[in-house]
Amino acid sequence: MRRIYHICLVSALWFPLRAQQQDTLHLTLHQAESIAIQNNPQVSAARFNAEAYREIPKELRSNYQPTVFGSVTGVGAADGSRIAAGALNNPIIYNRFASGIGVSQLITDFGRTANLIGSAQSRAAAQQENSNATRANVLLTVDSAYFSLLRAQSVLQVAQQTVTARQLVADQISTLAQNGLKSQLDVSFANVNLADAKLLLASAENDLQASKANLATAIGYPNQRDFVLADEPMPDAPPADDRSLLAEAVNNRPELASLHYEEEAANRYVKAERDLWMPSISTVASIGLVPMGVAELQNQYGAVGVNVNFPLFNGGLFKARRTEAEFRARTAEENAKDLQNRIIRDVQVAYLNASTGYERLSLTLKLLEQARLALDLAQSRYNLGLGSIVELSQAQLNLTSAQIANTNARYDYQTEWSALQFQIGALR
């Protein structure tokens, strides 16, 4: 009975999971991007990290608020006890039991806390930009995986059509050879072409499965096994030059904005470290009851005081901390300059790739038209006995190559356009 129960439990858990894995998911590119933003753990981790950094300014701003604490103290001491050694203190110890409330309030530290808050706010803004950058990277990965799967599906169709066409030719030539109208050499060439097409089909099927796995991981559905994807409209041609794209990238790339915020945070921290030399002024108050104690103690107590701290000497600690902060600020500045240079390079490369990809659309289309025409002519010549099997085989190979090139050109350009949008900071 227990065994039957376990089998039923496993079946109840396994079959729905299996069904979920095998369900076909119909997607547009926008839907794939939306699912990835919701499910991809990289996006979630970056968002949580940015939320954590937003709490740091609140932590520092609490220094401006009063600190209130309650105390309950009981002391038993030997008669006439005095503390005679250690730090400076009130040496008299009385027997007592008391409770009270203490309050402390920072009045001013002459800008140090304000600069620390400003630095933390800039770092929080930098982390938000990092979160935006992670989101953009995930979207780029999704777009690339989406178009790769579309490409793999199209190449698989080409491979299937190629196998069908070459199988038909091989069957026809084999029949003619049996009737003595064609040679065994022709049959051998036809079978070689057919085997080559089957190799192409096997490779296309493998690429298709790999592309499905990549897209499933990118959108956060690692167990998804099948997709039906909608074709996206072809993007417009790239602009005539990349000058406007470069300006857009410098203004919009979240990675660069993040480093600018880091630079701002470092400069505010330099000011905060400089303010270590400034005095800090605070006030303290305490009030409470002494229900039990020696006669020297009154039943109530209360006091208010003001404390001013002046830093005088600390072995060069404050100077070293300020110098360290200055060097880190200069490092952040140079990092921002370096990233800007690399962004400009990446935009230029992406623009060239997109421009070349757009040109390849028309070139591969013309190539495909010529390859189809050449195959029709080669097939007609071969049927009339005017052409050789080598000529026909080469025409078949050329058509297959042209079909794959045309398919690759289409989806490569869409991928390159997406990469260009990422480089200019428009993919968000």
Number of Cα atoms under 13 Å in the Cβ half of residue 317: 7
Assess if residue 351 is contained within a domain: yes
User: pLDDT value at position 269?
Assistant: 96
pLDDT at 2 over 50: no
Total number of domains constituting the chain = 1
Q: In CATH, what number is assigned to the domain containing residue 154?
A: 1.20.1600.10
Tens of pLDDT, residues 299-314: 998 999 999 999 999 9
Contact 139, 33 (CB under 8 A): yes
What is the pTM assigned to this prediction? 0.84
Tens of pLDDT, residues 341-397: 999 999 999 999 999 999 999 999 999 999 999 988 988 888 888 888 888 888 888
Assess if residue 94 is contained within a domain: no
Domain that holds residue 246: 24-65+109-278+314-423
Tens of pLDDT, residues 214-270: 999 999 998 888 999 999 999 999 998 899 999 999 999 999 999 999 999 999 999
Assess if residue 75 is contained within a domain: no
Tens of pLDDT, residues 96-112: 899 999 999 999 999 99
Assess if residue 88 is contained within a domain: no
User: pLDDT value at position 14?
Assistant: 42
pLDDT at 5 over 50: no
User: pLDDT value at position 63?
Assistant: 92
Assess if residue 16 is contained within a domain: no
Assess if residue 91 is contained within a domain: no
For residue 27, what are its two tokens? 């997607």
User: pLDDT value at position 22?
Assistant: 53
> Dihedrals φ, ψ of 28, to 5°?
-100, 170
Contact 134, 41 (CB under 8 A): no
Assess if residue 234 is contained within a domain: yes
pLDDT at 4 over 90: no
pLDDT at 12 over 80: no
Distance, CA of 71 to CA of 302 (rounded, Å)? 13
In this structure, what DSSP letter does residue 401 have?
H
Assess if residue 359 is contained within a domain: yes
Tens of pLDDT, residues 14-45: 444 444 445 789 999 999 999 999 998 999 99
> What does the pLDDT average to over 311-329?
94
- Order across the sheet with 96-108: list the strands: 67-75, 96-108, 280-293, 300-309
